[in-house]
Amino acid sequence: MTTESTGPEPVLVVEDVGHVLGGSARVLQDVSVQLSAGEVLALVGRSGSGKTTLCHLVAGLGRPTSGRITVGGTDAHDVDDWALVSLLPQRLGLVEELTVEQNVLLPSRLRGADDTVDGALVEDLFAALDLTAFRDRRATQTSLGEQQRTALARALVLRPALAVLDEPTGHQDDEHVALIGAALDVARRHGVAVLAATHDERIIGAADRVVTLAAGRVVPD
Ligand SMILES: Nc1ncnc2c1ncn2[C@@H]1O[C@H](COP(=O)(O)OP(=O)(O)OP(=O)(O)O)[C@@H](O)[C@H]1O
């Protein structure tokens, strides 16, 4: 089974999770997944299979209807710290008035911890994601692909225990998918566990493990 982490202590534990949306739609059922530090897990499945729903629950946006999700031993819904769990949402959520660099550094500013940012990691992310030329430009004055890479750098900048990436290549052309792969390598080197919902074969190929959802259930290997 690919659902079991092979590493030591799992950072993420998803245990028998079921979830109902809109009062009646059962979107997830009996989902169990584990993930260890530095592991990249690709979450795949057809459109509507439940990937975004699981990403949101792992990132603490709502509680599962049944079962349990913990990150670093804490209930995911109670985690409110991007140094523990960060999210790259499909809709990006950049702050329009801020520059690319200010958006990337925002998680640190919000923690009141500007001086604790790892400068070398920031430079690694700007280089890996080819953002250096845009860093002083307002985020809204960049392309959608550049905005997505900005939001990815923001998700990794605090070197979180777990980064949840929803379709990280969704706005990238072929040439730029490789940059997302390079950022995943940076995350791995820094011990960040990555849960990436994706349809992209190159991200699936770069992952350490793959979990497939079908109609809200994990498909056995
Ligand atoms: N608010 C909602 N109320 C009821 N059902 C919902 C709601 N949001 C999503 N769903 C349903 O939940 C299911 C899972 O949706 P989800 O967005 O998690 O799928 P996904 O695998 O991420 O799809 P995609 O690859 O298209 O992003 C779908 O059938 C969707 O229609």
CA of 190: how far to CAs of 63, 126, 161, 194, in Å? Answer: 29, 15, 9, 11
Residue 2 lies in a domain: no
Residue 109 lies in a domain: yes
Per-residue pLDDT reduced to its tens digit, 69-110: 999 999 999 998 889 999 999 999 999 999 999 999 999 888
Q: What integer pLDDT is reported at residue 115 of this predicted model? A: 59
**Candidate of 19, 20, 21 to mutate for ligand 1, largest count of ligand atoms within 8 Å of Cβ:** 21
More confidently predicted of 13 and 120: 13
Least confident of 2-6, 28-32, 36-40, 63-67: 2-6
Q: What's the mean pLDDT when you consider all of the chain?
A: 92
CA of 144: how far to CAs of 139, 155, 198, in Å? Answer: 9, 16, 18
Average pLDDT over residues 107-133: 86
> DSSP secondary structure string, 189-221?
HTT-EEEEE---HHHHHH-SEEEEEETTEEPP-
More confidently predicted of 212 and 8: 212
The kind and range of the H/E element at 150 are helix 144-156
Residue 3 lies in a domain: no
**Candidate of 29, 52, 217 to mutate for ligand 1, largest count of ligand atoms within 8 Å of Cβ:** 52
Q: What integer pLDDT is reported at residue 109 of this predicted model? A: 85
Residue 1 lies in a domain: no
d(Cα 82, Cα 100) in Å, to the nearest integer? 18
Confidence of residue 2 (pLDDT cuts 50, 70, 90): very low
Q: What integer pLDDT is reported at residue 1 of this predicted model? A: 40
Determine if the pTM surpasses 0.80: yes
3 state SS of 7: coil
Using a pLDDT cut of 90, give the percent of the chain over it: 82
Q: Which residues are within 8 A (CB) of 84 and not within 5 positions of it... i.e. 6 or more apart? A: 71, 72, 74, 160, 161, 162
Residue 56 sits in which domain range? Answer: 10-218
- Residue 27 Cα, ligand 1 centroid: separation in angstroms? 7
Residue 48 Cβ inside 6 Å of ligand 1? The answer reads yes
3 state SS of 115: helix
Residue 19 Cβ inside 6 Å of ligand 1? The answer reads no
Q: What integer pLDDT is reported at residue 3 of this predicted model? A: 52
Per-residue pLDDT reduced to its tens digit, 199-209: 999 999 999 99
Residue 45 Cβ inside 6 Å of ligand 1? The answer reads yes
Residue 4 lies in a domain: no
Q: Which residues are within 8 A (CB) of 74 and not within 5 positions of it... i.e. 6 or more apart? A: 84
Confidence of residue 114 (pLDDT cuts 50, 70, 90): low
Report residue 149: phi and psi, to 5°. Answer: -70, -35
Residue whose CA lies nearest to ligand 1 atom number 30: 48
Q: What integer pLDDT is reported at residue 8 of this predicted model? A: 65
Among candidate residues 160, 153, 194, 156, the one with its CA nearest the CA of residue 33: 194
What is the domain count for the chain?
1
CATH number at residue 187: 3.40.50.300
